[in-house]
Amino acid sequence: MEKFDKLTGVAAPMPLYNIDTDMIIPKQFLKTIKRSGLGVNLFDEMRYDDQGNEIPDFVLNKPAYRDAKIIVAGDNFGCGSSREHAPWALLDFGIRCVISTSFADIFYNNCFKNGILPIVLPQEDVDKLMDDAERGSNAVLTVDLEEQVITGPDGGTVRFDIDPWRKHCLLNGLDDIGLTLEKGAAIDSFEDQAAQARPWV
């Protein structure tokens, strides 16, 4: 997993509520057996018409936002299906950070497994960053994970909270499985006890 320390990039505004994972990556693109290559189909049904032509009004099709690295989104981003194809598609497009008032639980977890930072902020901070993001190519934000600060185009700053363990893993690009396997003895001993207590499992 790629480390996340400091990110500077254009932020795209997507104020819509309840942007679900079917919107982020529609089901017809889940038939891949790889993790890569989904960026071209990110937000496919919002981004392209029936003939596959770009819909010019869609934010990521606008010249200013084609290289966006950050999305500022409405409430409950990532709701619905557990498909990790959603963060894979975001990452493949180049999005490394999503900012909203709230995220759906599974999507939120999936982001951290892929080096994407989801930031939860109060409504007034999201509103302010949404205003910043509306400025097109001037909508450059800098997200500093170590300091837990977002700096806007006018130099204003917004602080954010994050679970210390998740921060540590993102900053260092740590692989969860490797870390858990180091606790192998604890898992062995749990299994021994459980086999006594609940032998039917």
Partner 1 sequence: MSGKTLYDKIWDAHLVHEAEDGTSLLYIDRHLVHEVTSPQAFEGLRMAGRTVRAPDKTIAVPDHNVPTTLDRANAATMTEDSRIQVEALDKNAKDFGIHYYPVSDVRQGIVHIVGPEQGWTLPGMTVVCGDSHTATHGAFGALAHGIGTSEVEHVLATQTLIQSKSKNMKVEITGKLSPGVTAKDITLSVIGATGTAGGTGYVIEYCGEAIRDLSMEGRMTVCNMAIEGGARAGLIAPDEKTFEYVKGRPHAPKGAQWEAAMDWWKTLYSDDDAHWDKVVTIKGEDIAPVVTWGTSPEDVLPITAAVPAADSFQGGKVGAAQRSLDYMGLKPGTPLNEIEIDTVFIGSCTNGRIEDLRAAAAILKGKKIKVKRAMVVPGSGLVRAQAEEEGLADIFTEAGFEWRLAGCSMCLAMNPDQLSPGERCAATSNRNFEGRQGRGGRTHLMSPAMAAAAAVTGKLTDVREMM
Binding status of residue 57 toward partner 1 by CB under 8 A: no
> What is the per-residue binding string for partner 1 in 35-54, x denoting contact by CB under 8 A?
x---------x----x----
Q: Which of 39, 80, 94, 153 binds partner 1 (CB under 8 A)?
A: 80
| Nearest-angstrom CA–CA distance, 28 and 38 | 11
End-to-end Cα distance, the chain: 34
Task: Report CA-CA distances (Å) from 101 to 17, 30, 49, 104, 127.
Answer: 10, 27, 30, 11, 9
Q: Which of 2, 8, 17, 138 binds partner 1 (CB under 8 A)?
A: 17
- How many residues touch partner 1 under the rule CB under 8 A: the total is 55
Binding status of residue 199 toward partner 1 by CB under 8 A: yes
Beta-carbon-side half-sphere exposure of residue 72 (alpha carbons within 13 Å): 29
- The dihedral region occupied by 67, where left means phi > 0, alpha psi between -120 and 50, and beta the remainder, is alpha
- Quote the strand ranges of the chain, DSSP E: 6-14, 70-73, 97-100, 117-120, 140-144, 149-151, 157-159
Q: Which of 40, 55, 187, 195 binds partner 1 (CB under 8 A)?
A: 187
Residues within window 85-104 making contact with partner 1, judged by CB under 8 A: 87, 102-104
Binding status of residue 27 toward partner 1 by CB under 8 A: yes
Binding site for partner 1 (CB under 8 A): 15-18, 20, 22-23, 26-28, 30-35, 45, 50, 74-76, 79-84, 87, 102-106, 109-110, 113-114, 163-165, 176-177, 180-181, 183, 186-187, 190-191, 194, 197-201
